[in-house]
Amino acid sequence: MPLEESQAQSHSAKIRELIDALQNVLFGQDDLIELVVAGLLARGHILLEGLPGLGKTELVKGLSKCLALENKRIQFTPDLLPGDITGNPVLQETEEGRKFVFQEGPLFANLVLADEINRASPKTQSALLEAMQERRVTVLGTTHSLPAPFFVLATQNPIELEGTYPLPEAQLDRFLFKLEVRKNSAEVLEKIVKNREIGIEPEVSEVMSGETFAELIEATRSIYLPDVVANYIARLVDGTHSPQSKTAERIKFGASPRAALGMASAAKAKALIDGRINTSFEDVEAVAVPVLQHRIILEYEARIEGNTNRQIVEALLKEVPRQEMDLPTTLKED
Protein backbone atom coordinates (compact mmCIF):
# COMPACT_ATOMS: atom_id res chain seq x y z
CA MET A 1 0.00 0.00 0.00
CA PRO A 2 1.53 3.35 -1.07
CA LEU A 3 2.56 5.77 1.66
CA GLU A 4 0.89 9.12 2.13
CA GLU A 5 3.09 12.20 2.25
CA SER A 6 2.24 12.88 5.91
CA GLN A 7 3.29 9.33 6.82
CA ALA A 8 6.57 9.71 4.95
CA GLN A 9 7.30 12.96 6.81
CA SER A 10 6.56 11.29 10.15
CA HIS A 11 8.83 8.35 9.34
CA SER A 12 11.56 10.73 8.17
CA ALA A 13 11.50 12.56 11.50
CA LYS A 14 12.06 9.29 13.40
CA ILE A 15 14.92 8.32 11.10
CA ARG A 16 16.53 11.73 11.55
CA GLU A 17 16.52 11.19 15.32
CA LEU A 18 18.46 7.98 14.78
CA ILE A 19 20.94 9.68 12.45
CA ASP A 20 21.47 12.55 14.91
CA ALA A 21 22.17 10.09 17.73
CA LEU A 22 24.75 8.24 15.63
CA GLN A 23 26.46 11.51 14.74
CA ASN A 24 27.26 11.85 18.45
CA VAL A 25 28.96 8.46 18.31
CA LEU A 26 31.06 9.00 15.18
CA PHE A 27 32.09 12.58 14.57
CA GLY A 28 32.54 14.07 11.11
CA GLN A 29 31.05 11.13 9.15
CA ASP A 30 27.55 12.44 8.41
CA ASP A 31 27.27 11.04 4.88
CA LEU A 32 28.56 7.65 6.01
CA ILE A 33 26.03 7.46 8.85
CA GLU A 34 23.10 8.32 6.57
CA LEU A 35 24.14 5.59 4.13
CA VAL A 36 24.44 3.03 6.95
CA VAL A 37 20.90 3.82 8.07
CA ALA A 38 19.66 3.69 4.46
CA GLY A 39 21.27 0.27 4.05
CA LEU A 40 19.51 -1.12 7.10
CA LEU A 41 16.15 0.31 6.01
CA ALA A 42 16.68 -1.54 2.72
CA ARG A 43 17.27 -4.79 4.70
CA GLY A 44 20.86 -4.91 3.48
CA HIS A 45 24.16 -6.00 4.96
CA ILE A 46 26.97 -3.44 5.07
CA LEU A 47 30.74 -3.68 4.67
CA LEU A 48 32.75 -0.88 6.28
CA GLU A 49 36.33 -0.51 5.10
CA GLY A 50 38.97 1.69 6.66
CA LEU A 51 42.19 1.78 8.61
CA PRO A 52 42.11 0.67 12.27
CA GLY A 53 40.99 3.23 14.82
CA LEU A 54 38.57 5.25 12.67
CA GLY A 55 35.47 4.28 14.63
CA LYS A 56 33.95 1.52 12.50
CA THR A 57 33.28 -0.73 15.49
CA GLU A 58 31.96 2.11 17.66
CA LEU A 59 29.44 3.03 14.96
CA VAL A 60 28.02 -0.50 14.86
CA LYS A 61 27.87 -0.76 18.66
CA GLY A 62 26.16 2.62 18.87
CA LEU A 63 23.63 1.54 16.27
CA SER A 64 22.63 -1.52 18.27
CA LYS A 65 22.10 0.61 21.38
CA CYS A 66 20.01 3.20 19.51
CA LEU A 67 17.71 0.49 18.13
CA ALA A 68 17.64 -1.76 21.21
CA LEU A 69 18.40 -4.77 19.04
CA GLU A 70 20.19 -7.87 20.26
CA ASN A 71 23.74 -7.64 19.02
CA LYS A 72 26.74 -9.92 19.08
CA ARG A 73 30.30 -9.38 18.02
CA ILE A 74 32.51 -11.87 16.23
CA GLN A 75 36.21 -11.07 16.16
CA PHE A 76 37.51 -12.68 12.99
CA THR A 77 40.98 -14.19 13.33
CA PRO A 78 42.99 -16.65 11.20
CA ASP A 79 42.18 -19.54 13.58
CA LEU A 80 38.40 -18.91 13.67
CA LEU A 81 36.35 -21.91 12.46
CA PRO A 82 32.92 -21.91 10.72
CA GLY A 83 31.34 -23.63 13.72
CA ASP A 84 32.56 -20.83 15.97
CA ILE A 85 30.19 -18.56 14.03
CA THR A 86 27.15 -20.71 13.27
CA GLY A 87 27.20 -22.93 16.34
CA ASN A 88 27.78 -26.65 16.80
CA PRO A 89 25.92 -29.75 17.96
CA VAL A 90 26.99 -30.64 21.49
CA LEU A 91 26.51 -34.06 23.10
CA GLN A 92 24.23 -33.62 26.13
CA GLU A 93 22.24 -35.71 28.56
CA THR A 94 18.48 -35.39 27.87
CA GLU A 95 15.33 -37.15 29.02
CA GLU A 96 15.69 -39.34 25.95
CA GLY A 97 19.27 -40.18 26.72
CA ARG A 98 22.50 -38.77 25.37
CA LYS A 99 22.03 -36.91 22.10
CA PHE A 100 23.47 -34.04 20.10
CA VAL A 101 21.80 -30.69 20.82
CA PHE A 102 22.50 -27.68 18.62
CA GLN A 103 24.10 -24.79 20.49
CA GLU A 104 23.58 -21.48 18.71
CA GLY A 105 26.64 -19.48 17.78
CA PRO A 106 27.06 -15.68 17.85
CA LEU A 107 25.43 -15.45 14.42
CA PHE A 108 22.05 -15.76 16.15
CA ALA A 109 21.37 -12.08 16.84
CA ASN A 110 19.58 -9.17 15.19
CA LEU A 111 22.74 -7.20 14.58
CA VAL A 112 25.98 -9.11 14.06
CA LEU A 113 29.26 -7.22 14.05
CA ALA A 114 31.77 -9.18 11.98
CA ASP A 115 34.89 -7.35 13.11
CA GLU A 116 37.89 -7.42 10.76
CA ILE A 117 36.17 -10.00 8.59
CA ASN A 118 39.06 -10.25 6.14
CA ARG A 119 41.44 -11.54 8.81
CA ALA A 120 39.72 -14.95 8.76
CA SER A 121 40.33 -17.65 6.18
CA PRO A 122 38.05 -17.95 3.13
CA LYS A 123 36.58 -21.16 4.58
CA THR A 124 35.43 -19.29 7.66
CA GLN A 125 34.20 -16.31 5.66
CA SER A 126 32.01 -18.63 3.59
CA ALA A 127 30.10 -19.63 6.74
CA LEU A 128 28.21 -16.35 6.35
CA LEU A 129 26.98 -16.98 2.79
CA GLU A 130 23.72 -18.80 3.59
CA ALA A 131 23.01 -16.58 6.59
CA MET A 132 23.38 -13.34 4.62
CA GLN A 133 21.29 -14.48 1.66
CA GLU A 134 18.59 -16.69 3.21
CA ARG A 135 18.79 -15.58 6.86
CA ARG A 136 19.24 -19.13 8.09
CA VAL A 137 22.06 -21.60 8.71
CA THR A 138 22.29 -25.31 8.03
CA VAL A 139 24.42 -27.48 10.31
CA LEU A 140 24.68 -31.25 9.76
CA GLY A 141 21.64 -31.18 7.48
CA THR A 142 19.38 -29.31 9.91
CA THR A 143 18.28 -25.77 9.07
CA HIS A 144 17.96 -23.13 11.79
CA SER A 145 16.24 -19.78 11.16
CA LEU A 146 17.99 -16.60 12.27
CA PRO A 147 16.23 -13.86 14.27
CA ALA A 148 14.32 -11.17 12.40
CA PRO A 149 15.48 -8.60 11.56
CA PHE A 150 18.97 -9.90 10.82
CA PHE A 151 21.85 -7.70 9.69
CA VAL A 152 25.55 -8.29 9.23
CA LEU A 153 27.72 -5.21 9.58
CA ALA A 154 31.27 -6.20 8.79
CA THR A 155 34.43 -4.18 9.13
CA GLN A 156 37.58 -4.83 7.17
CA ASN A 157 41.02 -3.34 6.87
CA PRO A 158 42.39 -2.42 3.45
CA ILE A 159 43.61 -5.54 1.72
CA GLU A 160 47.12 -4.13 1.41
CA LEU A 161 47.65 -4.63 5.13
CA GLU A 162 49.45 -7.81 6.21
CA GLY A 163 47.44 -10.76 7.50
CA THR A 164 44.30 -10.18 5.45
CA TYR A 165 42.40 -12.40 2.99
CA PRO A 166 40.30 -10.98 0.14
CA LEU A 167 36.58 -11.65 0.46
CA PRO A 168 35.23 -14.01 -2.24
CA GLU A 169 33.09 -12.40 -4.94
CA ALA A 170 30.01 -14.39 -3.89
CA GLN A 171 30.22 -12.91 -0.41
CA LEU A 172 30.94 -9.37 -1.58
CA ASP A 173 27.80 -9.56 -3.70
CA ARG A 174 25.75 -10.22 -0.57
CA PHE A 175 26.71 -6.88 0.93
CA LEU A 176 24.31 -4.16 -0.16
CA PHE A 177 26.86 -1.40 0.49
CA LYS A 178 30.59 -1.15 0.72
CA LEU A 179 31.35 2.10 2.54
CA GLU A 180 34.74 3.68 3.03
CA VAL A 181 35.47 5.18 6.43
CA ARG A 182 37.82 8.05 5.68
CA LYS A 183 40.37 9.64 7.99
CA ASN A 184 39.28 12.60 10.10
CA SER A 185 40.15 16.22 9.50
CA ALA A 186 42.10 18.24 12.08
CA GLU A 187 38.86 19.89 13.25
CA VAL A 188 37.19 16.52 13.84
CA LEU A 189 40.27 15.18 15.63
CA GLU A 190 40.16 18.17 17.97
CA LYS A 191 36.51 17.40 18.75
CA ILE A 192 37.39 13.76 19.43
CA VAL A 193 40.21 14.75 21.79
CA LYS A 194 37.90 17.05 23.74
CA ASN A 195 34.97 14.62 24.00
CA ARG A 196 36.46 11.12 24.11
CA GLU A 197 38.73 9.12 26.40
CA ILE A 198 40.54 5.88 25.63
CA GLY A 199 38.66 2.86 26.96
CA ILE A 200 35.42 4.75 27.64
CA GLU A 201 32.54 4.21 25.21
CA PRO A 202 30.31 7.16 24.28
CA GLU A 203 26.95 7.22 26.04
CA VAL A 204 24.12 6.28 23.69
CA SER A 205 20.42 6.20 24.53
CA GLU A 206 17.71 4.14 22.87
CA VAL A 207 16.10 6.16 20.07
CA MET A 208 13.46 3.68 18.98
CA SER A 209 12.47 0.08 19.62
CA GLY A 210 13.25 -2.77 17.29
CA GLU A 211 9.52 -2.99 16.49
CA THR A 212 9.44 0.66 15.40
CA PHE A 213 12.47 0.14 13.21
CA ALA A 214 10.77 -2.91 11.65
CA GLU A 215 7.82 -0.65 10.79
CA LEU A 216 10.19 1.77 9.08
CA ILE A 217 11.63 -1.10 7.04
CA GLU A 218 8.12 -2.01 5.88
CA ALA A 219 7.43 1.65 5.06
CA THR A 220 10.56 1.69 2.91
CA ARG A 221 9.14 -1.11 0.79
CA SER A 222 6.02 1.01 0.18
CA ILE A 223 7.95 3.88 -1.44
CA TYR A 224 6.94 4.18 -5.11
CA LEU A 225 9.54 3.38 -7.77
CA PRO A 226 8.61 5.11 -11.07
CA ASP A 227 9.18 3.20 -14.30
CA VAL A 228 11.74 5.74 -15.55
CA VAL A 229 13.79 5.33 -12.36
CA ALA A 230 13.61 1.53 -12.59
CA ASN A 231 14.78 1.80 -16.20
CA TYR A 232 17.69 4.02 -15.10
CA ILE A 233 18.76 1.43 -12.52
CA ALA A 234 18.60 -1.35 -15.11
CA ARG A 235 20.71 0.63 -17.59
CA LEU A 236 23.31 1.48 -14.94
CA VAL A 237 23.80 -2.17 -14.00
CA ASP A 238 23.74 -3.23 -17.65
CA GLY A 239 26.36 -0.56 -18.32
CA THR A 240 28.88 -2.61 -16.36
CA HIS A 241 28.54 -5.35 -19.01
CA SER A 242 27.35 -3.70 -22.24
CA PRO A 243 29.82 -3.69 -25.18
CA GLN A 244 28.36 -0.30 -26.15
CA SER A 245 29.54 1.17 -22.84
CA LYS A 246 32.97 2.82 -22.88
CA THR A 247 33.21 2.36 -19.13
CA ALA A 248 32.55 -1.39 -19.45
CA GLU A 249 35.75 -1.73 -21.50
CA ARG A 250 37.66 -1.27 -18.23
CA ILE A 251 35.51 -3.79 -16.34
CA LYS A 252 36.34 -7.50 -16.47
CA PHE A 253 33.26 -8.70 -14.58
CA GLY A 254 30.18 -6.52 -14.08
CA ALA A 255 27.46 -6.30 -11.46
CA SER A 256 24.79 -8.96 -10.88
CA PRO A 257 20.98 -8.64 -10.90
CA ARG A 258 21.25 -8.56 -7.10
CA ALA A 259 22.94 -5.18 -7.53
CA ALA A 260 19.90 -3.82 -9.40
CA LEU A 261 17.53 -5.06 -6.70
CA GLY A 262 19.74 -3.61 -4.00
CA MET A 263 19.99 -0.25 -5.74
CA ALA A 264 16.21 -0.03 -6.01
CA SER A 265 15.76 -0.82 -2.30
CA ALA A 266 18.48 1.61 -1.26
CA ALA A 267 17.00 4.38 -3.42
CA LYS A 268 13.64 3.85 -1.72
CA ALA A 269 15.33 4.13 1.67
CA LYS A 270 17.03 7.37 0.63
CA ALA A 271 13.66 8.78 -0.42
CA LEU A 272 12.07 7.86 2.92
CA ILE A 273 14.92 9.47 4.85
CA ASP A 274 14.19 12.69 2.97
CA GLY A 275 10.45 12.35 3.65
CA ARG A 276 9.37 11.66 0.06
CA ILE A 277 6.95 9.04 -1.26
CA ASN A 278 8.64 8.58 -4.67
CA THR A 279 12.19 7.66 -5.59
CA SER A 280 14.10 9.97 -7.90
CA PHE A 281 17.14 9.86 -10.17
CA GLU A 282 19.06 11.69 -7.42
CA ASP A 283 18.29 8.89 -4.97
CA VAL A 284 19.75 6.33 -7.36
CA GLU A 285 22.87 8.41 -7.94
CA ALA A 286 23.34 8.84 -4.18
CA VAL A 287 23.55 5.08 -3.61
CA ALA A 288 25.07 3.88 -6.91
CA VAL A 289 28.71 4.00 -5.81
CA PRO A 290 28.33 2.06 -2.53
CA VAL A 291 26.08 -0.48 -4.28
CA LEU A 292 28.30 -1.09 -7.32
CA GLN A 293 31.92 -0.43 -6.39
CA HIS A 294 32.50 -3.80 -4.68
CA ARG A 295 30.56 -5.76 -7.30
CA ILE A 296 32.79 -5.04 -10.29
CA ILE A 297 36.23 -6.42 -11.09
CA LEU A 298 38.47 -4.21 -13.21
CA GLU A 299 40.59 -5.28 -16.14
CA TYR A 300 44.29 -5.58 -15.41
CA GLU A 301 45.12 -2.63 -17.66
CA ALA A 302 42.63 -0.41 -15.85
CA ARG A 303 44.20 -1.22 -12.50
CA ILE A 304 47.71 -0.61 -13.84
CA GLU A 305 46.55 2.82 -15.00
CA GLY A 306 45.58 3.58 -11.43
CA ASN A 307 41.80 3.38 -11.79
CA THR A 308 39.78 2.48 -8.71
CA ASN A 309 36.37 0.82 -8.60
CA ARG A 310 34.88 4.02 -7.25
CA GLN A 311 36.26 6.06 -10.15
CA ILE A 312 34.86 3.58 -12.67
CA VAL A 313 31.36 3.73 -11.15
CA GLU A 314 31.51 7.53 -11.11
CA ALA A 315 32.48 7.46 -14.80
CA LEU A 316 29.52 5.15 -15.48
CA LEU A 317 27.16 7.61 -13.82
CA LYS A 318 28.40 10.33 -16.17
CA GLU A 319 28.10 8.09 -19.22
CA VAL A 320 24.62 6.63 -18.68
CA PRO A 321 21.86 9.25 -19.20
CA ARG A 322 19.01 9.43 -16.72
CA GLN A 323 16.46 8.83 -19.46
CA GLU A 324 16.75 7.01 -22.76
CA MET A 325 16.76 9.43 -25.67
CA ASP A 326 14.14 8.21 -28.15
CA LEU A 327 14.13 9.66 -31.65
CA PRO A 328 10.90 11.16 -33.02
CA THR A 329 8.72 8.67 -34.90
CA THR A 330 9.29 10.44 -38.25
CA LEU A 331 13.06 10.07 -37.95
CA LYS A 332 12.76 6.40 -36.99
CA GLU A 333 10.80 5.73 -40.15
CA ASP A 334 13.43 7.42 -42.31
Looking at the fold, whether 262 and 312 belong to one and the same domain comes out as: yes
Looking at the fold, whether 218 and 228 belong to one and the same domain comes out as: no
The pLDDT confidence band at residue 334, using thresholds 50, 70 and 90, is very low
Looking at the fold, whether 72 and 41 belong to one and the same domain comes out as: yes
In terms of pLDDT, which residue wins out, 40 or 165?
A: 40
Work out the angle at residue 107's Cα, subtended by the Cα atoms of residues 105 and 113, and round it to the nearest 5 degrees: 125
pTM for the model stands at: 0.88
Q: Is the pLDDT of residue 157 over 70?
A: yes
Looking at the fold, whether 218 and 98 belong to one and the same domain comes out as: yes
In terms of pLDDT, which residue wins out, 168 or 66?
A: 66
Strand 151-156 and strand 111-115: pairing?
A: parallel
Q: Is the pLDDT of residue 166 over 90?
A: no
Query: Is residue 332 a part of any domain in this protein?
Result: no
Strand 251-253 and strand 297-298: pairing?
A: antiparallel
Looking at the fold, whether 240 and 203 belong to one and the same domain comes out as: no
In terms of pLDDT, which residue wins out, 208 or 204?
A: 208
Last residue of a domain, one of 222, 245, 261: 222
Looking at the fold, whether 213 and 188 belong to one and the same domain comes out as: yes
Q: Is the pLDDT of residue 330 over 60?
A: no
CA dist 94 and 256 (Å) reads: 47
Tell me the CATH number at 83: 3.40.50.300
Looking at the fold, whether 190 and 262 belong to one and the same domain comes out as: no
What pLDDT is stored for residue 161 in this prediction? 64
The pLDDT confidence band at residue 280, using thresholds 50, 70 and 90, is very high
Q: Residues 199-206: contacts with CB within 8 Å, 24+ apart?
A: 201/58, 201/61, 202/24, 202/25, 202/58, 202/62, 204/21, 204/24, 204/25, 204/62, 204/65, 204/66, 205/21, 205/65, 205/66, 206/65, 206/66, 206/67, 206/68
Query: Is residue 318 a part of any domain in this protein?
Result: yes
Phi and psi at residue 262, to the nearest 5°: -65, -40
Looking at the fold, whether 173 and 227 belong to one and the same domain comes out as: no
Domains contained in the chain, number: 2
Other Cβ atoms less than 10 A from the Cβ of 244: the count is 7
Residue from 269, 253, 250 nearest 316 by CA: 250
Q: What are the start-end ranges of the H helices in 118-256?
A: 122-125, 129-134, 169-172, 186-195, 210-221, 227-238
Looking at the fold, whether 151 and 230 belong to one and the same domain comes out as: no
Q: Is the peptide bond before 168 cis (omega within 30 degrees of 0)?
A: no
Q: Is the pLDDT of residue 327 over 70?
A: no
Q: What are the start-end ranges of the H helices in the chain?
A: 5-23, 30-41, 56-67, 82-86, 122-125, 129-134, 169-172, 186-195, 210-221, 227-238, 257-273, 281-292, 300-304, 309-319, 329-333
What pLDDT is stored for residue 331 in this prediction? 42
Phi and psi at residue 214, to the nearest 5°: -60, -35
Looking at the fold, whether 159 and 262 belong to one and the same domain comes out as: no
Q: Which structural domain, as residue segments, surrounds residue 281?
A: 223-325
What average pLDDT does range 210-234 have in this prediction?
94
b/e sequence 170-202, b meaning 16+ C-beta within 10 Å: ebebbbbbbbebeebeeeeeeeeeeeeeeeeeb
CA dist 230 and 283 (Å) reads: 12
**CB of 165 within 8 A of CB of 120?**
yes
What average pLDDT does range 213-242 have in this prediction?
94
Q: Is the pLDDT of residue 329 over 50?
A: no
**CB of 12 within 8 A of CB of 275?**
yes
* Helices 30-41, 210-221: crossing angle, 10 deg rounding: 80
